[in-house]
Amino acid sequence: MLSFISGTGLLDNFNPLNYVSQGEYVYWWSEAYRLVLSGFWGRLIAALCLVGAFWFGVYRKMPGLGIFLFFITVTITYLGGLIKAALWWTN
Amino acid sequence: MALGKDLPPKQDGGLVIGTLGGAEKPTGLLTAISAIENYAMNERESGSVPHGFFTTQNRVSFFAVGFTGGLVSGLVAALLTPIAIGVIENYIPIFGSHEPSLYDQCFAFAVSLSFSLGYAAFISRVRGDYVGTASKSAINNLVSGLATGAVLKLIIALVGFHFMYFVVLAPQNIGPLLLKLHPLVKLPTLEWWFQWLGEFRHVFLISSYVIVLTTFLTVATPVVAIMLSVRGSRRRKMQEKKWG
């Protein structure tokens, strides 16, 4: 079944390396990591998400959105370290 | 008409709360808070309901909602506390950095406190609805459930963290455990892990006492909010009496 799809080249359309070089692709991801999970912007986004979690969850009585924002805060705060540890582990 | 006997007596603009069997039974925090708002609104309009209205089953339902919330939100805080202390003590990276600034340390601590404090603050929003028999009883049971859940969480965390420190991460236990991973993980890596875990284990001891503070704040937030609200409304009433 899957070999039929891959035989038609349909899955190849989803391969990002068909459109950009590997170096460029790795650069994009490391830039995204640098921007969102570390440095000033990561700290700012995490702080805004935490404030948003209280604003929506407690003040605006939308606990679902509050919990969602809280988990985004936790993810941004600790995922950077987790990725670093995983990269250290694989190297 | 025979059927007419089974119908409830008509109420002329009186209380219309819940079903014939008493107050409604909440299934979660949102339904509990909605029910409290409903009771308070009706009791402001028509005065307090009779004492028997809020049955034992209703009390238990509100208690259970508070208890579950206190336990679950507390366990989330309990999981995040050793991580926050690990950040402060430079064992765990935050925002990808192993050298956290003062802001990073405060932020890690704030994140670990936020979930249970947010939950307690959400419950505190019913402080203005502490008006009549039913709403007071519902709020009292909800908050006492929250307190019981938080205390149970505290006991679980205290026992669990001490167990981590004295048993799981004790050098004589963690060494043989790590050695079992040997074919899969290289020896120098295992040695690094052993050293890191040996230094990190005291974080669990610190965390178990930080959680006492978290629990205190979780319980105190709604209690203080309700007390302040009651005092405020009492003052308002006295002022109204003075002014005639």
Q: Any CB–CB contact under 8 A between B122 and chain A?
A: yes
Closest alpha carbon within chain A to B185: A89
Say whether both A79 and A47 belong to one domain.
yes
| Domain that residue A3 falls in | 1-29
Q: How far is CA B158 from CA A80, B23, B34, B106, B209, in A?
A: 29, 37, 34, 23, 8
Q: Testing the interface with A: which of B94, B95, B105 to mutate, by most A Cβ within 10 A?
A: B95
Residue A68, chain B, CB below 8 Å: the answer is: no
Query: How many CB atoms lie under 10 A from the CB of residue B64?
Result: 18
Q: What is the pLDDT of residue A12?
A: 84
Q: What is the pLDDT of residue A89?
A: 67
Instruction: Kindly state whether residues A51 and A11 are assigned to the same domain.
Output: no
Q: Quick one: A25 and A42 in the same domain?
A: no
Our measurement of the distance from residue B193's CA atom to the centroid of its chain's CA atoms, rounded to an integer in Å, reads 35
Question: pLDDT tens for residues B100-153?
Answer: 999 999 999 999 999 999 999 999 988 888 888 889 999 999 999 999 999 999
A13 and A52 belong to one structural domain: no
Structure confidence at residue B11 (pLDDT) = 46
Of B83, B93, B118, the CB nearest to A54: B118
Say how many CB pairs under 8 Å bridge A and B. Answer: 74
| A24 and A41 inside one domain | no
User: Who's near B65: CB < 8 A, 6+ residues apart?
Assistant: B26, B27, B28, B29, B31, B32, B142, B145
Closest CA in chain B for residue A36? B95
Q: Do residue A46 and residue A69 come from a single domain?
A: yes
A17 and A56 part of one domain: no
**What residues of B are in contact with residue A89 (Cβ under 8 Å)?**
189
The region, left, alpha or beta by phi > 0 then psi within -120 to 50, assigned to residue B17 is beta
Question: Which of A72, A74, A82, A88 to mutate to test binding with chain B, by most B CBs within 10 Å of its CB?
Answer: A74
Q: Is the ipTM of this complex over 0.90?
A: no
Which has the closest alpha carbon to B197: B164, B224, B230, B220? B164
Q: Across the interface, do B107 and A47 touch by the CB < 8 Å criterion?
A: yes
Quick check: helix, strand or coil at residue B97? strand
Give the count of alpha carbons within 13 A of B100, CB side only. Answer: 26
Distance CA B110, CA B124 (A): 19
Report d(CA B191, CA B174) in Å as an integer.
11
Summarised one tens digit per residue, pLDDT across range A16-43 is 998 999 999 988 988 888 888 888 888 9
What value does the mean pLDDT take over residues A2-12? 65
Q: Which helix (H) or strand (E) segment is B178 a member of? A: helix B171-179
Is residue A11 domain-shared with residue A46, that is, in the same domain? no
Q: Which residues contact B28 (CB under 8 A, 6 or more apart)?
A: B65
Q: Are residues A89 and A45 in the same domain?
A: yes
- Residues A18 and A59 both lie in one domain: no
Answer whether B95 sits within 8 Å of A42, measured CB to CB.
Answer: yes
Assigned token pair, A84:
């670093």
Interface of B with A in 24-63 (CB under 8 A): 29-30, 33
What's the rounded Cα separation, in Å, for the pair B116 and B79? 12
Residue spans of chain B under pLDDT 70:
1-24, 244
> Residue B94 and residue B89: Cα distance in Å, rounded?
11
Q: What pLDDT is recorded for position B1?
A: 35
CA nearest B98 in A: which residue? Answer: A81
Same domain, A66 and A43: yes
Nearest to B203 by CA among B119, B116, B120, B108: B108
Please name every residue paired with B19 in a beta bridge, in sequence order, or none if there are none.
Answer: B22
Number of domains in chain A: 2
pLDDT at B28: 86
Q: Which residue has the tokens 């440095």?
A: A39
Would you call B111 an interface residue with chain A, using a CB distance cutoff of 8 Å? Answer: yes
Contact residues on chain B for A71, CB-CB shorter than 8 A: none
- Mark whether A5 and A42 lie in a shared domain: no
Of B29, B96, B125, the CB nearest to A38: B96
A38 CA: distance to closest CA in chain B (Å):
4
Among partner residues A37, A42, A53, which is closest to B114 by beta-carbon distance? A53
B224 membership: H or E segment, kind and range:
helix B202-242
